[in-house]
Chains A and B, each alone.
Chain A
Amino acid sequence: MSAYLLLFLEFFKMGALTFGGGYAMIPFITETVTRHGWMTTAELIDFIAVSESTPGAFAVNISTYIGSEVGGLPGALLATFGLVLPPFLIIILIAKVYERIKKNFLVQGAMLGLKATVVGLIAATVLSVGKEIFFSQGINAAAFQSANLYISLGIFTAALFLLLYKKMNPILIIAGSAVVGIVLGYTGVIKV
Chain B
Amino acid sequence: MPGKTMVRIPTVRLRKEYKTMKHKLKLYLQLFLTFMKIGVVTFGGGYAMIPIIENEIAEKKGWITGDDLMEVVAISETTPGPIAICAAAFIGFRMGGVFGAFCATVGVVLPSFVIIYLISLFLRAFEQLQVIKYAFFGIRAGVLALLIKAVVSMFKKCPKNIVAYCIMAASFAAVAFFSANVIIVIISAAVIGLASALIAGKAGKKL
Contacts and interface: CB of A to CB of B under 8 A. Distances in A.
Interface in B137-156: 137-152, 154-155
Contacts, number: 407
A176 B196 CA distance: 45
Contact of A120 (B74, B111, B163, B172): B172
B89 A92 contact: yes
A124 B180 CA distance: 11
A55 B41 contact: yes
B139 A86 contact: no
The interface centre, meaning the residue of B80, B174, B193 with most chain A CB atoms within 10 A of its CB, is B80
Contacts of B190: 110, 113-114, 117
A126 B80 contact: no
A130 B74 contact: no
B90 interface: yes
A109 B150 contact: no
A84 B106 CA distance: 9
Interface residues of B, number: 107
A170 B139 contact: no
A52 B44 contact: yes
Interface in B94-113: 94, 98, 101-102, 105, 108-109, 111-113
B79 A156 contact: no
Interface of B: 6, 39-47, 49, 71, 74-86, 89-90, 93-94, 98, 101-102, 105, 108-109, 111-113, 115-117, 119-121, 123, 127, 130-131, 133-152, 154-155, 157-159, 161, 163-165, 167-176, 181-183, 185-198, 200-201, 207
8 contacts: A21-B76, A51-B45, A65-B123, A84-B109, A91-B86, A111-B193, A120-B170, A182-B138
